[in-house]
Amino acid sequence: MTSRMKYPIWKVVAGHGSHIKATRDTLSIQYRNTTTEIPLVDLDHLMIMGGHQIQTSAITTLLNNQVFVSFLESDGEPSGYLKPYGYMMDETIRENQSRVSPFIYALACAKGAARERILAIERWDDEGDGKILFSGELDILDRALGELDSLIRIDEISRVDRLIGDMYYEIMSRLIPADLNFKRRTGRPYRDPVNAILSFGYAMLTADCTRALVGVHLDPDQGLLNRGKRSLTSDLVNCWKTRMIDLVTLDLIHHVGEITPASYECGEKRCILSESLIRRLIERYQQSIRQDVIDIQVKTLVEAMNGNIQFEFHRF
C-alpha cells in the first residue's frame, strides 16, 4: 500500500464509552456531549483502546478507505488489527523474511536498545551530579554492551538484553517519587501508575510500528530477537522506548501538577488512569513517537531482508 501522505495520520480513541460511526467521507467519534469529526482522507490509522461502540458500517467504511484499525485493551495490551485489502502479504518479501538468518538482526536490535538505555542512564547520572548510580553499575552495563559482540547464540543475546533492561528500569525508578510506588517494570496487571502509563505509551508505539510493518508486507509476528506474537514489532519498539516514551514519561512525572492522586486509582488488582490523564498522554506521545524514524527503520529492514543492504539500527 502506498500512503496518501508522507507520514500516516492516526487517531487514538481511549477510555470507555465512545460511539464511533462513519459516513462515506467522515469518521465521527461521540463521547458524552462532544462529537469529533475527522475527514477520512486525513486518516490512515485508527487506534481503539478500551471499551467503545463501533458500528460495523464504520469498520467497512474505514477499510474501504484504506484505514488501518488497531484494537487494544484498556491497559494498553494489543489485541489485534484489521487491515484493508492491499495490505496482504507480498510473497517475495514474506519468503525473504522467513529465510533470513536472524542473528545479525537480533544483535543489531539488542545493541540499539542497550545503547539508548545506557545513554539515558549516563544523562540521568550527569543531571543528578553523580548521585543516581551505585558504585560499579555503569561498568556492569558497559561490559554487558561490549559482551554482545562476542556472543554466538540468540538466547545469549536475549539474556544480556534482559539484564540491561532490568537494570535500566531499576535505575529509572530512583528518579520517580516514592509515592508512585514504581520499583521496576512489571507485567500485567499493572498495580502502580507509572507501569500503567509506560504500558499505555508502549501500546501506542507498538500499534504504530505494527501498522508500518504490515504496510510493507512484513509479518509482525515473525521476530528476530524475540519470539511469538508481535515479536518483530517488539524487536524494533524496544529500541525506541527510551526516547519516544520513557523520557517523555519522566518529564511528565516531574512536571508539577501533571500527575496527582486524582490522576489514577490503584486497587488490589490494578491501577486505572483517569480520562484526563489519558488525554494528556495521547497528546504527548503522539508528539514524541517519530513516525519518520519508524518508517526509515522499517524500510531499512525490508531492504536488508531483500539482500540489498546490510541491516543497521538508525539512531535519531
pLDDT at 47 over 50: yes
Question: Which grid cell sits at 128?
Answer: 543528578
Residue 108 has pLDDT above 70, yes or no: yes
Q: Which CATH architecture has domain 91-305?
A: Up-down Bundle (1.20)
Contact 37, 28 (CB under 8 A): yes
Phi, psi of 228 (to 5 degrees): 100, -170
Query: Distance between CA 145 and CA 113 in Å, rounded?
Result: 10
In the predicted structure, residue 5 carries a pLDDT above the cut 50: no
Q: Which range among 18-27, 78-87, 107-116 shows the weakest confidence by mean pLDDT?
A: 78-87
Q: Where in the chain is the domain with CATH 3.100.10.20?
A: 10-82
Which contiguous run of DSSP H or E holds residue 13?
strand 10-13
Cis peptide before 220 (omega within 30 of 0): no
Alpha-carbon span 263 to 13, nearest angstrom: 18
pLDDT digits (tens, 9 = 90+) for 217-249: 899 999 999 999 999 999 999 999 999 999 999
Strand 51-54 relative to strand 34-39: parallel, antiparallel, unpaired? unpaired
pLDDT tens sequence across 109-159: 999 999 999 999 999 999 998 889 999 999 999 999 999 999 999 999 999
Phi, psi of 209 (to 5 degrees): -70, -40
Look over the chain and give the mean of its residue pLDDT values, rounded to a whole number: 92
Q: How much is the pLDDT for 88?
A: 53
- Say what the pTM is: 0.88
Q: Cell numbers 462513519 label which residue?
A: 22
Provide the β-strand partners of residue 38.
27
- Give 154-163's long-range contacts (Cβ < 8 A, gap of 24+): 154/102, 154/103, 154/106, 154/225, 157/106, 157/107, 157/110, 157/225, 158/106, 158/110, 158/225, 158/226, 160/110, 160/114, 161/110, 161/113, 161/114, 161/225, 161/238
Output phi, psi for 20, to 5 deg: -110, 120
The confidence band for 2, taking pLDDT boundaries of 50, 70 and 90, is very low
Kindly report the number of other CB atoms within 10 A of residue 72's CB atom. 23
Q: How far apart are the first and last CA of the chain?
A: 26
- Please state which CATH number belongs to domain 10-82: 3.100.10.20
Q: Average pLDDT for residues 243-271, to the nearest whole number? A: 93
**Could you give the CA distance from residue 107 to residue 315 in angstroms, rounded to a whole number?**
15
* Mean pLDDT of the region 169-192: 96
The boundaries of every CATH 1.20.120.920 domain in the chain are: 91-305
Residue 74: pLDDT band with limits 50, 70, 90:
confident
